[in-house]
Amino acid sequence: MEDIRTQVTKHAKERLKERCGLNDKSSERMAKIAYEKGLRHGDLTGNLKKWVDKQYFYNRRANQIRLYGDKAYIFHNQNLITVIQIPHNLVKEVVRISKKGNEI
C-alpha cells in the first residue's frame, strides 16, 4: 500500500481534541487511518448516503468524506479539514457496512 500523506488543519486538530480527545500527534495518525480505512461515499446506501451527500453541500471545500467509527472525517484532497459526529441513528449502519467490508 502506498504511503498516503495526510495533513491536518489547525481547525481539524481543534475538532479532534474537542470531539475525540486526541492530541496533535494522535490527530495525524487518526487522520491517516480514517483516510485509508474509512468508508467512502461509494460504500454507502440509503439514509447514510443521503446524510453524507448533505455534508458535501454543507462543506463546500470537501471532496472526500470518510466515515470511521462514529465520526465523519471531512477532507479536501488529503487535508483533513474537520471532524463531525455521525448522527446516532446512522452509526449502526456504519458498523454494519464496515463489518460487511471486512468479510471480503
Angle among Cα 16, 38, 72 to the nearest 5 degrees reads 45
Nearest to 44 by CA among 19, 76, 72, 6: 72
**Res 1: pLDDT:** 45
Kindly give the confidence (pLDDT) of every residue in the chain, 104 residues in length, as a single tens digit, with 9 standing for 90 and above.
456 788 999 999 999 999 999 998 999 999 999 999 999 999 999 999 999 999 999 988 889 999 999 999 999 999 999 999 999 999 999 999 988 877 64
**Res 5: pLDDT:** 82
**Res 2: pLDDT:** 52
- pTM here? 0.91
Q: Which amino acid is at 30?
A: M
* CA–CA gap between residue 19 and residue 71 (Å, rounded): 9
